[in-house]
Amino acid sequence: MRTKGLAWSRLPLLIMSAISLPLIAGSTGLVCYTAVESLDLSCLLRWDCPHASPNITYTVQTKTQGDPWQDVPWCVWISSRSCDVSHVFSNFELYNMIRLGVHLTPSSTVWIKPHKFDYSDFTFSPPSISVSLKNDSMSVEVQFPCAANRRCAHDVCCPISKLIDPWTTVTVYNELNRSENQSRTVWTQEVVSTLEFSGLSPGQSYCAVANFSFPIYSIAASPKSAPGCVATRSSSGMLLMYCAGIGLSFLVLLLFLAVFLQKPRRDRPTPDNPPKALTAAQDLDSLAPPVFVPVDPCDINLELLDDHSSNMGLTSSSKSKTLSPHMHFDASGGVVYCYSEVLKQKR
């Protein structure tokens, strides 16, 4: 038991020795600890040389498979303890190397053992998703985090899907019954990845989560996104909407027929019928009441013919005869007298 406890107590020392030994620079005894931090395809080299002079300076170089070592222009003879080389690397499927140079004197530089930069160093931010419901299918759109790289230096946001073709995995599950789920993994070759899921039960709430990884290497995978949820329509609600649509269509048809049937039809004029304007005038004349104009009897002129044969047959008593209350005939003189009310009053 004592031996085992002693071994466990020495384990941190063994680990530190394993890390420090490769970083000892030749016979100078200079020890530097280097580490690479990578988030969303960025690359930041950090180092610590605890026994180095405070005034010492450093230079960082990079190397891509098949190319020579090259200085990072903004990390030459610097006194800081870090260097961002994110804009240097553009092909992540080749071998990329980084090394730190320590300037002991203006003419003496010690190069620390190179550090590789590959998928084992990658870490990613979770993607963001948006979900929508189309009929009975759920559409999930996956948007990738922004990356810092020289190929996208002029863009406000350069999604990492412009630099690599990630494997994207989307899982859709029933919010109340997690056993009802379906998952799909696709090789994304577009800036935005969109996946469709069908076979969802009506009246249920479904959620989706997504993550992605570096092509082929699942070890470099992002955390899962925040869930995006949507509720499917219930069967009763769909039936009600269907019936409402049919009823509305039927109502519109009835209104159209009612308006069409109430529209008056114009009769064509026949040759036997008089023109409408003339007929209307005649109808008005026939309906107008007769107008009676008062006539003074004295305004009537009577002309009597001197017929001797008729006079011969008249007796003396019949020579004078009253024709009306206002007219009197004198046979002897052949004169007709007209009496008005005025004359009668004077007499």
Shared fold status for 2-121 and 128-235: yes
Three-state DSSP class for 218? coil
* Residue ranges for the chain with pLDDT beneath 70: 1-28, 149-155, 235-245, 263-347
Check residue 299 and give its pLDDT.
Answer: 56
Q: Are strands 82-84 and 44-48 parallel, antiparallel or unpaired?
A: antiparallel
Check residue 180 and give its pLDDT.
Answer: 93
- How far from the centroid of its chain's Cα atoms is residue 199's Cα? 25
- Contact indicator for 101, 17 with CB cutoff of 8 Å: no
> Which residues have CB under 8 Å from 44's CB, separation 6+?
36, 37, 38, 82, 83, 84, 85, 86
Radius of gyration for the chain, computed over Cα atoms and rounded to the nearest angstrom: 60
If you write DSSP's letter for every residue of 23-50 in order, what string do you get? GEETTTTEE-EEEEE-STT--EEEEE-T
- Where along the chain do its domains lie? 2-121, 128-235, 297-346
Check residue 266 and give its pLDDT.
Answer: 53
Domain 2-121 fold: Immunoglobulin-like (2.60.40)
Quick one: 328 exposed, middle or buried, by C-beta within 10 A (0-12, 13-18, 19+)?
A: middle
Check residue 122 and give its pLDDT.
Answer: 92
Tens of pLDDT, residues 101-139: 999 988 999 999 999 998 889 999 999 999 999 878 999
Check residue 269 and give its pLDDT.
Answer: 52
Going by C-alpha positions, the residue among 99, 129, 128 that lies closest to residue 116 is 99
Q: Give φ, ψ of 247 to 5 degrees.
A: -65, -40
The correct answer on CATH 2.70.70.10 for the domain covering 128-235 is: no
